[in-house]
Amino acid sequence: MKAPSFSYERAESVANAIELLARHGPDAQILAGGQSLMPMLNFRVARPAVLVDINPIADLAAIRVDKKGVFIGALARHADIEHSGEVAEQLPLVAAAMPQIAHPAIRNRGTFGGSCALGDPAAELPACCVALGAEFRIAGPKGERSVPAAKFFAGVYTTALEPGELLLGAQFPARQPGYVSRFLELTRRHGDYAMVGAAAHGRLDKGRLSDLKFVYFAVGDRPIMAMGLARAVEGKPLDAATIDAAVAALKDDLDPPGDLHASSVLKRHLAGVIARRMLNEYATHKGA
């Protein structure tokens, strides 16, 4: 199908984008990489009267590293993040996730902000943001505000973004010594959305994990932090008994609905497989 007709506005700055969104109200929708929005228009799932194209706002594409950590701008393309040496060094969790997002053609256009603003519970980047404790920067008619990633994702395709607001990017805390990340997803074919996936970040010292953030995706309406799993491993030697207890704790952590990619029963099983593999990787981890 073809997209319904719409008007097109080019935003030249953040202020201009906010002004255009205010002028057109609920009829307007932001266009970033278009990798989700254009299919939604073509399938007529979305019917905005006006598209506000933010691609001309070059500042929004930056990836910046400073003492505070790493800021990834909303318009940074998936491919730019994937190939960034700074991201590889400072945010190895994000670097590990990037090649799992769709295919190169989609990663060349799709953006960090588009993926987070969409709020797809099966997406990789939201889970990484929650695991790493990122803060989203948002601009709107009342000025700028920050929202922690753990509060940003509010449900299926629902986020803390209010009408008329623009996601500017996310601030990730500086990399802390001793913290180790792991990422794993299970898909039917490489590039598909995950049947189940997880992003983990925690302090590893002499084979013991603490402050572990183990965040699943594609198992609920948003990224899901496995709190029981984290409690089961906190400060304990990562032996078979600890890992068994952590996997058993998932029974209360997760209640995954089935979707196109896997049934609820299969997702539960795969979540356990993922936990076991990732915790075994932590148990055998050597080096920084």
Ligand X SMILES: Cc1cc2nc3c(=O)[nH]c(=O)nc-3n(C[C@H](O)[C@H](O)[C@H](O)COP(=O)(O)OP(=O)(O)OC[C@H]3O[C@@H](n4cnc5c(N)ncnc54)[C@H](O)[C@@H]3O)c2cc1C
Q: Which residues bind ligand X (CB under 6 A)?
A: 29-37, 39, 54, 74, 101-102, 106, 110-111, 113-115, 117-118, 123-124, 161, 166-167, 193
Least separation in angstroms between residue 280's CB and ligand X is 25
Name the pairing type of β-strands 28-31 and 50-53.
parallel
Least separation in angstroms between residue 109's CB and ligand X is 6
Smaller CB distance to ligand X: residue 191 or 228?
Answer: 191
Smaller CB distance to ligand X: residue 167 or 246?
Answer: 167
What per-residue string of b and e applies to 172-195 under the rule 16 or more CB within 10 Å gives b? Answer: beebeeebbbbbbbbbeeeebbbb
Least separation in angstroms between residue 83's CB and ligand X is 16
Nearest of 89, 168, 97, 176 to residue 129 by alpha carbon: 97
Q: What is the DSSP string of 183-251?
A: EEEE-SSTTSPPSEEEEEEEEEETTEEEEEEEEEESSSSS-EE-HHHHHHHBTSB-SHHHHHHHHHHHH
Least separation in angstroms between residue 275's CB and ligand X is 21
| 233 vs 19: CA distance, rounded Å | 49
Smaller CB distance to ligand X: residue 29 or 171?
Answer: 29
Smaller CB distance to ligand X: residue 52 or 249?
Answer: 52
Q: Are 8 and 51 in contact (CB under 8 A)?
A: yes
Least separation in angstroms between residue 195's CB and ligand X is 11
Smaller CB distance to ligand X: residue 18 or 226?
Answer: 18
